[in-house]
Chain A
Amino acid sequence: MDLASLLDRCRQGDDLAWEALVRQFERRVYSIASGYASGPDEARDLAQDIFVRLYESRGKWAPAEGFTPWLVRVARNVCLDQLRRKKARPPAEDIQADEMWDLASPDASPEAELEATGRRQLVWRALRSLGGLSREVLQLKEIQGLSLQEVAAILRVPIGTVKSRSNRARLELAEQVLALKGSRTEGGA
């Protein structure tokens, strides 16, 4: 479906188009929300808040060419707002929520999927063990695939800073993956 037409129809108040848009971006928005959430339930709430905010600002949407980076920016702002609001309240019970993320890759064959899911699980756990700054720059640049310029605009830092921060975060992630692999093989032996 052509995104530009879809956005136009949404702006005109076509509820069917809005539904299609929500379906198209649901997983992406949920993924962004997951970067700021302590668990799947909170990510789900955040994703809903993001869509509600999106809906309320229909008149001010970015054009189709720049829609995804713009959406990422809006999503991030909503998440940060909600987290700021939540800071006043004590955090909900901090269960080991990592295992509850659904990381299955639906396209792969069963055996390939099992292996792929295991590897993704490892990277995902490593990712979630990183600090907020590292996680965020990875989410924006490596996961959502935004350009250095786009990430710099969102984070309001120079491009060089994004580049160095991103490289540092990637190395941290790789080291964390190695550490988790090590602890896994030790535990298995």
Chain B
Amino acid sequence: MNCQGFDLRLDALLDGRCTADQWCEADAHLAGCARCARLFEAMAGRADDLDDEGHETLSAAIVSKTSGNPCASARERLCDFVDRQLVRFDQELMDAHLARCPRCTSLAAALAESTRLLPSFAELAPREGIVRDVLAATSRRQADATFGAHARPSRFGSGSTGLRERVSAWIARVAQRPRFSFEVAYVLTLLLLVVFGNPVVAFRDASARVQPHVRDVAHAVSRPLANARKVGANTLASVERAIRPNAGRANAGPERSVLAEGGELLYQWWQAHVVAPFWSVVSEARDVAGRVFDALGRAAGVATAEPTIPAVR
């Protein structure tokens, strides 16, 4: 018989449910095994002569025979123990176990330390700050969001963007300003007038070769221009109101100031060259805007065709 066999038979021995042969077997083992002898004495209630160490090994032996290794049970409660979440009774049980068990003690120490240190990883510094890259990426995205899905950059940070992208990005940033719709109606009209004299005739015979290129950009600015159309009437009305007083005063008397005279001229010019053509321009806003950008592109040497700018009146 070995120790394991003795453990299995221990209950039967103590309860007196063993045959004579089994007793002899057990006796033979007890004679040669101090561990089992102590265990048997203790279980039979005759272990008063044990010293501390004896009690210790005996308790361990009893526990391992009955409930098994207690460390598994200690492990289950270790997190709550470290977090001080156990009720007092369990806390004391754990204290008692840890006092005897170096393995669980060192595990508890490691658990406490890592628990204390983990929150310090909530924020980590990248070796290189990422703020600049994020801002670059998102402002580019902002341009994309404004102009739809096309012309997305392949990867942030790649600096090789064509003139068209750069112009689009610039327009996109400008377009974020609240007054953009107001401004675009006004500035676009003036721009057309300054460059071409008359915006309606300016693009009557635009080159067909640049049409695909134009369509892209035209699509890109279509939304701001749709807004422009909405506020277009207000824009014209408010500019008129600004000019009117001067125009009225122009007829008032002999002391016609230069400003008043200028106002009169400006008003007539405005009516003839801006207000009348404005609505037809806006109605063709997509095409016109596309061609403006095409003209800008050609001026910057992007397109190969020679520009054919109509004569300014």
Q: Helix, strand, loop or mixed for chain B's interface? A: helix
- How many inter-chain residue pairs (CB < 8 Å) link A and B? 122
Q: Tell me whether B139 is interfacial, beta carbon within 8 Å.
A: yes
Interface size, B (range): 35 or more
Q: B125 contacts the other chain (Cβ, under 8 Å)?
A: yes
Q: Is the CB of B125 within 8 A of A27?
A: yes
What 1/0 mask marks residues of chain B from 124 to 147 whose CB sits below 8 Å from any chain A CB? 111111110111011101100100
Contacting pair A40 B138 (CB below 8 A): no
Known: A27-B125, A143-B119. A55 touches B114 (CB 8 A): no
A30 contacts which chain B residues (CB < 8 A)? 123-126, 130
Q: Does A186 touch B at the CB level, under 8 Å?
A: no
- For B122, the chain A residues whose CB sits under 8 A away are 28, 31, 143-145
CB atoms of A40 and B126 under 8 A apart: yes
Asked if A162 lies at the interface with its beta carbon under 8 angstroms from chain B, I say no
Interface pair B145/A102, CB less than 8 Å apart: no
Q: Does B47 contact A (CB under 8 A)?
A: no
| Shortest Cβ gap from A13 to chain B (Å) | 6
**Are the CB atoms of A52 and B134 closer together than 8 Å?**
yes
- Assembly CA distance A15 to B141 (angstroms): 13
A52–B138 Cα gap in the complex (Å)?
6
Whether the pair B138, A51 counts as a contact (CB closer than 8 A) is: yes
A89: interface (CB < 8 Å): no
The answer to the question of A170 belonging to the interface, with a C-beta cut-off of 8 Å to chain B, is yes
* Contacts A28-B122, A31-B122 given; does A177 touch B114 at CB 8 Å: yes
* Chain A 125-167 per-residue mask, 1 if CB under 8 angstroms from chain B, else 0: 0110000000000100011110000000000000000000011
Q: In the complex the two chains form, is A167's CB within 8 Å of B79's CB?
A: yes
Q: Does B63 contact A (CB under 8 A)?
A: no
Asked if B110 and A175 make an inter-chain contact with CB atoms under 8 angstroms apart, the answer reads yes
Query: Which chain B residue has the least Cβ–Cβ distance from A105?
Result: B120
The answer to whether B126 touches A142, judged by C-beta atoms less than 8 angstroms apart, is no
Q: Does chain B have a CB within 8 A of A78?
A: no
Q: Cα distance A145–B123 when bound, in Å?
A: 12
**A174 adjacent to B107 (CB under 8 Å):** yes
Which listed residue (A51, A120, A144) contacts B134, Cβ 8 A? A51
Shortest distance in angstroms between B105's beta carbon and chain A's nearest beta carbon?
11
Give chain A residues whose Cβ lies under 8 Å from the Cβ of B117. Answer: 119-120, 123
> Residues of B contacting A51 with CB < 8 Å?
130, 134, 137-138
- Say whether A56 contacts B145, CB under 8 Å: yes
* Nearest 9 interchain pairs by C-beta: A27-B123, A174-B111, A174-B110, A31-B124, A142-B118, A55-B138, A167-B79, A51-B134, A177-B110
Q: 17 A-B pairs, CB-CB below 8 angstroms?
A: A19-B135, A22-B131, A22-B135, A23-B131, A26-B131, A27-B126, A44-B126, A44-B128, A48-B137, A51-B137, A52-B141, A123-B114, A142-B119, A143-B119, A143-B122, A170-B114, A171-B79
Given contacts A28-B122, A127-B114, A142-B118, 15 further A-B contacts (CB under 8 A): A18-B135, A23-B131, A26-B126, A26-B130, A31-B123, A44-B126, A44-B130, A47-B126, A48-B137, A102-B126, A103-B124, A123-B117, A170-B111, A171-B111, A177-B114
Contacts from B to A (Cβ < 8 Å) = 75, 78-80, 106-108, 110-111, 113-115, 117-131, 133-135, 137-139, 141-142, 145, 156, 176
A residues lining the B interface (CB < 8 Å): 13, 15, 18-19, 22-23, 26-28, 30-31, 34, 40, 43-44, 47-48, 51-52, 55-56, 100-106, 119-120, 123-124, 126-127, 138, 142-145, 166-167, 170-171, 173-175, 177-178, 181
